[in-house]
Structure 1
Amino acid sequence: MTLSYHPSKLISLRAKGNVWYVQVTKPPELQKGNDKQIRRSTGTTDRKEAERRQHRITEEIYARFDAELERLNPQPEVKFNYVVGPPDPLLAWRPKPVIPKQNISLRMSRVWPKYVEGRNWGREKTKNGVVGHLKEFISVVGDLQIDQLKKKHGYQYARYLDQSGYARSTVGTRVRAVGTMLTWCEEHDLIEDHKLRNLRLSDYGYPGRPWKPFPTEDLEKIFSQELPVQERLCMSLLATTGARLDEIALLRWHQVKQRDEITYLDLTEAIIKTPGSQRFVPLHRQLLLPEPGEDRLFDYPEGQDGKSQNNASRAMMPFVRSAVGDDDRKALHSFRGTLKDMLRNAGVSKELNDFFTVSVSWMAPAD
């Protein structure tokens, strides 16, 4: 129901490291005192890239205005009066229905912290993501009691995400995050049966856009640049192994092994995406590694989850962008698809192709 809101503009904040922000003036109904504008970071200091992201962020802000105004001005409930016979002469003496009182302890804002504390998350990033989704859900539908949530609230959240420009997979992930919390509430006897199951979300969000592999000319442009030693080695490993960025960025020297004159990477104990990703990955014989050290191959800082992909990406993506342009479907993950295409074009069977890049070991470890 997006109304006519003020247009957005880009501003660069020196206090935030000259990062560009999208700024929009709030509608009068949402202004409080000096709080008259909303800002959202574009996450970049590049003006051109900020302009490219401005539309999506603006739509997210407008969708948030929609949700807040809808809560301020809810549509009146339509009531139907049915005449089925003469008035009840005893109506005045009949007991009135009991209307249950609000149970503050069952409000979403009271329940989700207990849920987050009571689960083993494994990864800090996963936990923080779920917390963000739950807070966002509350901001959209209101701080309702968990036993009052209905399917319409799930669809209301999905519509908000759709209007904000998110992908279909993202919409599903965020709505399911709320449903998973409600399932936990069932398990802990807080509610009987939550209503956010079996929602039809296929019409919400845009379809996924797969990564594009690099054609040969892109690879030549990338590797013909003057690359720092660390970034050249990391991208060379990505291009010749099909491994995921974090699998390479976190490599330790004890994972580099040799058997039958074949050097390979042992990813059986790495921080992996799925159990099926535990595997051994052979290295191309022309790939030259530096002299072995005692710890990691690369010094990309590790985050809260012990993962380095974000910091590694920040170091390498400028070289990818300078070589292949601003196509957001070409990124470091494209190396993975590039190798799979090359193996397929070379006549390598799908089974062996998947063994290299996805599945379980292509050879058994030595006794």
Structure 2
Amino acid sequence: MVSRIYKAHKMHFRKKKWYASVSVPPEVRHLHSEPRLRLSTGTSDKTTAGILARDKVVPLIHRRIDALFDKLDPFVEGLRDILENEGADVSQWYHDGCIKLKVSGDKTTLSAISGGIKFKANGRALTVVEQWKATNYKDLAMMVTGLGYAVPERLLTALPRDLMQEIYDTAKPTGAPPSVMGKLYKEITGLLGDEDGQRALQMMPSTITRINIQSAKTLMPMFIDWSERYIKEKKRKDSIDVHTKRKKACAMFLLVCGNKPLDEYDAVHMIEMARYMDHDTNGRQWAKATIKNYVSYVKQAFDYAGSSRNDLGKVVLTAHPFHNMQEIKSYGSEGKPYLPLTSEELTSLFSSKMEPQERLLLAVLVTTGMRLDEAALMIWERITLQNGVLCFSLVDHVADEAVRVKNVGSRRYIPVPDVIKSMLGNGGTGRLFNYRIDTEGKSENAASKSLMPIIRQVTSHPQKAVHSLRGTFIDLVRELGDVDSEDRKFITGHKQGDVGGDGYGEGPSMKKRLHIINKVEHPWLTSAFANSPHKP
């Protein structure tokens, strides 16, 4: 499919007037006498000319180039990449009414019909060379098939019914026509002699396929196939969470929009996915943020096609319509932020009866601001000294196994607050907590199921949950008044983190982080019941 993407225009001062010009794309260069299409702005004033070029002249140039594209033959253009890849000059079709191609070796008709026999004369290998010529659509289809490709079936639908039927009839496997056999007999016996020629003819296949039609679009991938390649490629750098969301987004797009070649989707398809998620078949309204993420992941699949080449060395998809999708913002429910717990609720929470494991996990969350999954997956080997300060490490190189975090900025060291050190006891090996790890490598769901009943004993507010403890810690640090927001973001993993970074320093020192964390008072943890050691 020819994409109508034009290069930026240029301005030229000629004959005391400013002209605007646009490069004529190579696909239609043969239909225009010059490599650029140039029109006058009618003025010698450069500023005025620039405005006229932008608003009037260049759009007119684009329309004229569009008219050149309209003159192209859809069937021929659908085969252009194949033909050009094999050395054919497609412009011949428009100049001379035919396409000529010199073919040699295994791709020759002689080689195909004779079953790939290698011809020799006087003990030396012969290179068979044939001159092919296509003067009609059937010839073109046979030429493409002879080169080892298939004709996309969609190209046939644009042809007159009688021509389409003729190509379908020719696509049926058949014996070699007598005229072809006679010519072949003369050529082979002339090369090999009567005896060897007869033997070669006996080895020929009983039927030949002159036209191969493939219903699947051979040059443009189907979305289901491309999404698998895209997801596999991105998996190398994706976290498990992002990998899962990417798969779900593509599956949703496929469910709503169906499986099509990449170039057959339009902007409305993405809007239809968002509209479906706004009120799906189960009556569910998905969150606005989730819809935004799904749209982004699907768009990235099409972006990936724009930076990849197909088997013919061509860009898979030169353009797609999924840019500036402003209408998407109107779909989905507004997210409701988690609310922090009050001092009274925290006091009631830690006064509640609970197992040591849950008590320690709640204490870690409220004193460090860690995300639930970061804490629930913590292992004893990651509680280590960093620059003389005991820290929870969320950095890969500290332990043998890779740490699971939300993003690069989350890879950080978090000093262990003094107020919970006694709860850690004498340490141990392996995981601090025994919450089940699911197939996505997460433990937060199992941990949340254990913690939420405890939180519900002190508050029934729907916007107060386990994640509220992270917001509570952020508010407590903010209320100190003298903590730089950048330092706070380093501690909570909202900044660049302790690996990767932005190339400008390493962030606050461990001693500074510990000082900040220890300045936060936790009266709900200082009573005797909160200091019972945790048994690994």
Corresponding residue number in structure 2 for 1:357: 492
Name the CA distance, whole Å, in 2 between partners of 1:355 and 1:124: 23
**CA deviation string 1:340-365 (max 9, x = no partner):** 11122222423333232234453259
CA apart distance, 1:180? 1.1
2:290 aligned with 1:170: yes
Distance 1:235 1:149, change over 3 A: same
Structure 1 counterpart of 2:438, which letter? G
Q: Which runs of 5+ in 2 are unaligned?
A: 1-71, 76-153, 158-214, 309-314, 397-402, 498-506, 512-536
> Offset of 1:257 from its aligned partner?
3.1
Shift of 1:293: 0.6
Task: State the match for 1:347 in structure 2.
Answer: 481
Aligned counterpart for 1:252 among listed residues 379, 386, 394: 379
Letter in 1 for 2:366: A
Matched, 1:117 2:261: no
- Contact 1:123-1:305 within 8 A present in 2 as well: no
Identity %: 28
- Out of 246-255 and 234-243, give the one that drifted further: 246-255
**Structure 2 counterpart of 1:319:** 454
Q: 1:150 to 1:352 in 2, by over 3 A?
A: same
Q: 1:143 to 1:344 in 2, by over 3 A?
A: same
Query: Would the alpha carbon gap of residues 120 and 352 (structure 1) be closer, same or farther in structure 2, given more than 3 Å must change?
Result: closer
- Residue 271 of structure 1 and its aligned partner are, at CA, apart by 2.2
CA distance in 2, matches of 1:160, 1:246: 31
Give structure 1 stretches of 5+ with no counterpart: 1-94
SS where residue 286 of structure 1 aligns?
helix
Q: Given the alignment of the two structures, is residue 186 of structure 1 paired with residue 306 of structure 2, yes or no?
A: yes
Residue 323 of structure 1: SS of its match in structure 2?
coil
Cα displacement string for residues 165-223 of structure 1 (whole angstroms, at most 9, x for unaligned residues): 12221111111221111122222333221111221122222332211111112212221
CA change 1:363–1:159 in 2 (3 A) is same
Deviation (angstroms), 1:144: 2.4
Q: Name the counterpart of 1:107.
A: 222
C-alpha separation in 2, matches of 1:190 and 1:118: 15
Partner of 1:132: 248
Q: 1:241 aligns with which of 364, 368, 387?
A: 368
Q: Which has the larger radius of gyration?
A: 2
Query: What does 1:154-165 correspond to in 2, within 5 Å?
Result: 154-163=270-279, 164-165=284-285
The DSSP-based 3-state class of the residue aligned with 2:384 is strand
Shift of 1:330: 1.3
SS at match of 2:418: coil
For 1:194, the aligned partner's letter is H
The answer to whether the 8 Å contact 2:364/2:375 transfers is: yes
**Relative to structure 1, is the Cα distance of residues 101 and 330 closer, same or farther in structure 2, using a 3 angstrom cutoff?**
farther
- Mapping of residues 1-367 of structure 1, within 5 Å: 100=155, 104-105=216-217, 106-121=221-236, 122-163=238-279, 164-188=284-308, 189-200=315-326, 201-258=328-385, 263-269=390-396, 270-287=403-420, 288=422, 289-325=424-460, 327-349=461-483, 350-358=485-493, 359=495, 360=497, 362-363=508-509
Q: TM-score, normalised by structure 2?
A: 0.46
Q: CA deviation at 1:112?
A: 2.4
Paired residues of 1:221 and 1:324 also in contact (CA < 8 A): no
CA gap of 1:241–1:180, structure 2 versus 1, over 3 A, is same
Q: 1:285 to 1:302 in 2, by over 3 A?
A: same
How many Å separate the matches in 2 of 1:108 and 1:291?
A: 55
Provide the C-alpha distance between the structure 1 equivalents of 2:458 and 2:155, rounded to a whole number of angstroms. 64
SS in 2 for 1:328: coil
Instruction: Return closer, same or farther for 1:351/1:208 CA change in 2, 3 Å cut-off.
Output: same
- Could you say what secondary structure the match of 1:324 adopts? coil
When the two structures are superposed, what TM-score results if normalisation uses the length of structure 1? 0.66
3-state SS, counterpart of residue 306 of structure 1: coil
Q: What is the CA distance between 1:272 and its match in structure 2?
A: 2.0
The one-letter code sitting in structure 2 at the alignment partner of 1:199 is M
The CA RMSD measured in Å over matched residues stands at 2.8
Tell me by how many angstroms 1:258 deviates. Answer: 4.6
Cα distance in 2 for residues equivalent to 1:109 and 1:260 = 50
Indicate conservation of the 8 Å contact 1:279/1:362, yes or no: no
CA contact (8 A) 1:151 1:196 kept: yes
Q: Deviations over 1:40-97 (max 9, x none)?
A: xxxxxxxxxxxxxxxxxxxxxxxxxxxxxxxxxxxxxxxxxxxxxxxxxxxxxxx997
Q: Quick one: distance in 2 between partners of 1:340 and 1:142?
A: 44
Contact between 2:289 and 2:335, CA under 8 Å: does it hold in 1? yes
What is the rounded CA distance, in whole Å, between the counterparts of 2:408 and 2:243 in structure 1?
Answer: 20
- Deviations for 1:238-263, whole angstroms, at most 9, x for unmatched residues? 01111111221111222223579854
Q: Distance in 2 between matches of 1:295 and 1:198?
A: 48
